[in-house]
Amino acid sequence: MNKIESTPGNFILNEDVQWTTVGGVKVPVELITPAWPDPFLDVEDYDPDGDLMVLNMGPQHPSTHGVLRVKLVLDGEVCIKCVPYLGYLHRGVEKLCEKLSYVQITPIVDKNDYVSPMTNELAINMAFEALIGAEVPRRARYIRTICAEIQRVGSHLLWLGTFGLDMGGAIGGGGSIFMHTFRERELLLDLFEDLTGCRFHYNTHTVGGNRHDIPAGWADKATQVLRVIGTRLVEYEDFVRDNHVFRARTVGVGIIDPQLAIELGISGPVLRASGVDVDLRRDQPYAAYDEIDVAVPTETGGDCFARYLVRVAEMRESIRIATELLTGVPEGPICSLKPVKLPGAVKAKHGRGVYTAIESPRGELGTFVVGNPERRQSAIPYRCKIRSPSMHALQLLPYLCPGNNISDIIVTLGSLDPIMGEVDR
């Protein structure tokens, strides 16, 4: 095991990696696998004697991060086929979007990805603004970016805590790291409470800007909290990174082929841990990201440990971005439209479809909206599709699980960071 040097702002890259080009982007050679497991494997063909066991993991299983059911076909303790079943948390959000008006949808999509509601609101309101043609004032864009970055830190903190639980109490005995990360996440929730009045489901973004302005003294408090979390991150790294058990459970487990990941539409930290340097904040700037440099941490390991390293480096980067933006929030209005009193006040003219995407903590979170083609002006979308990164990440399971044993499958699943509310919608 190599001792890894990591200092804030200076992320880790293995210098000895050989690179090749797949799909027009650079990927590490050693992660490319010649053949992928067959997700539709015929079990009868594999073992006609029927000496296999079928195990249903979930939907009520503490380590499936919500109500995911995974049917595993096991040969001894080694999985040979994996079939995920979704839909246990399907709430019909897309149907609701066809019944509610543009300003009423924001609090509904809050509940999609309940770990990072801010980015959900941002994603859907960006699509509505593109459809309606509403401008967003510069101050609102700054507030949106700061919220998104603070939310990213909170989301990754929650992931780190639950990832520790996935390893069966491997880190510091049971829930230690879980308790620590939740303590820090609490500070961030307090920040959001000061800003919006709510701790989880904020309803603070609206079409054309934000509802809530930064209160007096909030910027100083936020900077202070982010500094505290920055110092605690160093403690976590000391706690976790060189922990022997943590290394044993994560290094070399669940290696993801970047070529397969790109084809599956996987994005975010999972793709970056496989060596693909992709980040929509830098490549396709939205909100206020065009006014700030975003460093994109990548790793070349492709395993669970690399995904841990990428997420921790991302937290540092988010803290830096948020702190930097907090010093220069411009003055001005926070919403370009008049305050909405009636739900039908915001109307779209066209019947065309628009797609916008943001980089959520889990990857490319996009929204495809079609305005009502039957009427010249309508306050209700005709069709609204939310492209959730977690659903694409879960498609990896049938390719990742065969050949691994059950305890590794649980760690791999945890490292993908799926949120079932976003998968099922």
Partner 1 sequence: MTWAEDATQLAVDRFGLEVCEHEGPEVGADQLVAFARALKDELDFCFFVYVVSVHYPQVPPVEADAEAGTEAIPGIRDRTVVNYRARRLANADRPTETFAFRTTVPTGESCPSVSSVWVGADWQEREQFDLVGTVFSDHPDLRRIMMPEDWPGHPLRRDYAIDTSHFPWR
Binding site for partner 1 (CB under 8 A): 22-25, 40, 86-87, 90, 92, 94-95, 98-99, 260, 262-267, 276, 278, 280, 283-284, 352-355, 357, 364, 366, 368, 370, 373, 382-383, 385, 387, 391-392, 394-395, 424-425
* Residue in 232, 150, 234, 224 with CA at minimum distance from that of residue 189: 150
Minimum separation from the CB atom of position 276 to partner 1 (A): 7
Closer CB to partner 1, 202 or 399, in the complex = 399
Closest to partner 1 by CB, 87 vs 403, is: 87
Q: Which is nearer to partner 1, 207 or 278 (CB)?
A: 278
Q: For the chain, how far is it from start to end, CA to CA, in angstroms?
A: 41
Q: 137: cis peptide before it, omega within 30°?
A: no
For the CB of residue 70, give the shortest distance to partner 1 in the complex, in Å: 14
Question: From the CB of 347, what's the least distance to partner 1, in Å?
Answer: 19
Q: What are phi and psi of 20, to 5 degrees?
A: -135, 170
Q: Please give the distance of CA 149 from its chain centroid, rounded to a whole number.
A: 12
- Residue 279 or residue 317: which is nearer to partner 1 going by CB? 279
Least Å from the CB of residue 419 to partner 1: 16
Phi-psi bin for 260: left (phi > 0), alpha (psi -120 to 50), beta? alpha
Complex with partner 1: residue 94 or 237, whichever CB lies closer: 94
Residue closer to partner 1 by CB (options 182, 382) is: 382
| Pairwise CA distance, residues 222 & 69, whole Å | 39
* Contact present, 237 and 262 (Cβ < 8 Å): no
Q: How many CB atoms within 10 Å of residue 276?
A: 25
Q: How far is the CB of 194 from partner 1 (least distance, A)?
A: 36
Q: In the bound complex, what is the minimum distance in angstroms from residue 96's beta carbon to partner 1?
A: 9
**In whole angstroms, how close is the CB of 175 to partner 1 at the nearest point?**
33
CA dihedral 326, 330, 333, 335 (to 10 degrees): -50
Residue 160 dihedral angles phi and psi, to the nearest 5°: -60, -40
- The CA-atom distances, in angstroms, between 87 and each of 69, 146, 378, 408 are 9, 33, 31, 24
> Measured from the CB atom, is 160 or 266 closer to partner 1?
266
Collapse the DSSP code of 80 into the 3-class scheme (helix H, G, I; strand E, B; otherwise coil) and give the result.
strand
